[in-house]
Chain A
């Protein structure tokens, strides 16, 4: 074999491996999604959306879990997103060259990839053990702590993309800094800011670990923030590990609902972000 042939063969082998790994990645996505569709779709019925989670051995739905997930996610995002947007605003607008910004960015990155179960322990220590009982409020707060770093990151990035001449033009009209930020910078970066919030919603709507010891779970319908509350991920966790066929079926159906919601959110976020950068 000549050197040339050898080089060609080695190259072909490695490139084939790269091709195979891409195939493997896409294949995994396909396998997981198709399993979810096959297993979850058969359990999808009106009862899933109208009935409560059942006791073992009988039929039922996921209404209380779906409502619980919606309540806690909404509350968590309502607390976390404004805080994140404000912090990101400071970093991109006021403190662009400040030491504090560098520190906050580093800390934020740590928070962004801190294990979510550790966030759950933190909220347990701060809220649950102080109040003496599990509550939907504690669950929502643990989600809020997860929302903050995601939103801070995207807000800072998106505000930095707003061109400076735009701000200078507004300042030249005599507008104060805060008005320039709110009326000009926020407006210019709107799509990006919404993208960040959508990504945060997608991230927390599937979170399980921090919920299982802050909001715990609840077999019954509850809108009381001061009491334990069911959520889809926690119900999936409990039902999937149970020996009952009906529960396992509901776990699959719940998994399908969450995945569809998360994928729709992240594709929407991507479309918005893509439109923004394309302009």
Chain B
């Protein structure tokens, strides 16, 4: 009798334990499945972005075909749309931004890794990175009210005067000084992306083995020569990757550009003239777009922008990955 009772209790406990264990297993599988589906959701979001942009731009693709990329007119009244001025403005402003940000950003990185006293490295590094955190609309409003008028007053007149007689440059810097325009937008973009170039360059500069630098110093090189012949060659791919990431940023940036570019749908020979970019066109016109074709043309602009940034970013990632492999080997 006693034996049976004990067996019952044991069976009860065993059942309880089994229940708890199976509940834990269920919970375990559930959590695993939850995280897995979240990871897949990230893939679905990107898929959704591409799919929705393609679907949204179908009417415009059907109506304009390949001409969309080569035509300059942008006329909502007659519903004739061409993306060329916007694409041109996007590429040119991003290029100007790079010409500003690449040397300055790399310069800051060299300063932070090779020259700056140790106590100041952290505060200055943080200060530069805070620049990256400031919302782009702040750069926009600052550019509109302060930077553009300053450029109009102090930068553009001397530029026009200086290059007025030089062939080629005279067309680039021609026309009245509006203040707003492609050059100003490019400059503001440049200031915005400096922190990206600077922080990535600093990170890759720190991967240079100290032994290499010491060897160069031992040969009698000075600081600049060590940077020029050891640090930069060793990290070249990484720096280029960082610059391209910044380029991706500059291509897609909207608010800072919208304020100062002037929104003119034409390709002007002069960098001082107002122009437009893909993102500025979308931001300015999307809520006012009446009719499916107009909206669809704007969405197709978004699709083009996405493809341009996608390829730039993919290339940048590949370069950075190659550097990582090199550092690991």
Which residues of A are interface residues toward B (Cβ below 8 A)? 7-8, 10-12, 14-15, 17-22, 24-26, 28-29, 32, 35-36, 39, 83-84, 86-87, 89-91, 93-95, 100-101, 103-104, 106-111, 113-119, 121-122, 124-126, 145, 148-149, 152, 176-179, 181-182, 202-203, 205-209, 212-213, 216, 233, 236-237, 240-241, 248, 251-252, 255, 258-259, 262-263, 266-267, 270
Contacts and interface: CB of A to CB of B under 8 A. Distances in A.
A178 B31 contact: yes
A86 B249 CA distance: 27
Contacts of B136: 206, 208
B24 A176 contact: yes
B144 interface: yes
A241 B223 CA distance: 48
Most chain-A CB neighbours within 10 Å: which of B115, B145, B224, B248? Answer: B224
Contacts of A95: 36, 39
A143 to B, nearest CB: 13
Given A15-B224, A176-B24, A263-B130, A113 B313 contact: yes
Given A36-B142, A177-B32, 13 more contacts: A11-B225, A15-B223, A19-B111, A83-B38, A84-B38, A107-B43, A114-B310, A116-B252, A118-B306, A121-B302, A125-B56, A182-B31, A236-B137
A10 B49 CA distance: 50
Given A20-B107, A22-B112, A121-B53, A115 B224 contact: no
B126 interface: yes
Interface of A is mostly: helix
B313 A110 contact: yes
B140 to A, nearest CB: 7
Contacts of B98: none
Interface stretch (B61-69, B79-87, B164-172, B190-198): B190-198
15 contacts: A14-B224, A22-B108, A25-B108, A26-B127, A32-B139, A104-B39, A110-B46, A117-B302, A118-B49, A118-B306, A208-B137, A212-B283, A240-B141, A259-B138, A267-B130
B273 interface: no
Interface string B27-38: 110111011101
A252 B140 CA distance: 11
Given A25-B128, A35-B142, A113 B249 contact: yes
B24 to A, nearest CB: 5
Interface of B: 24-25, 27-28, 30-32, 34-36, 38-43, 45-46, 48-49, 52-53, 55-56, 103-105, 107-108, 110-112, 114-116, 124, 126-128, 130-131, 133-142, 144-146, 191, 194-195, 198, 222-225, 227-228, 245, 248-249, 251-255, 258-259, 279, 282-283, 286-287, 298-299, 302, 305-306, 309-310, 313-314, 317
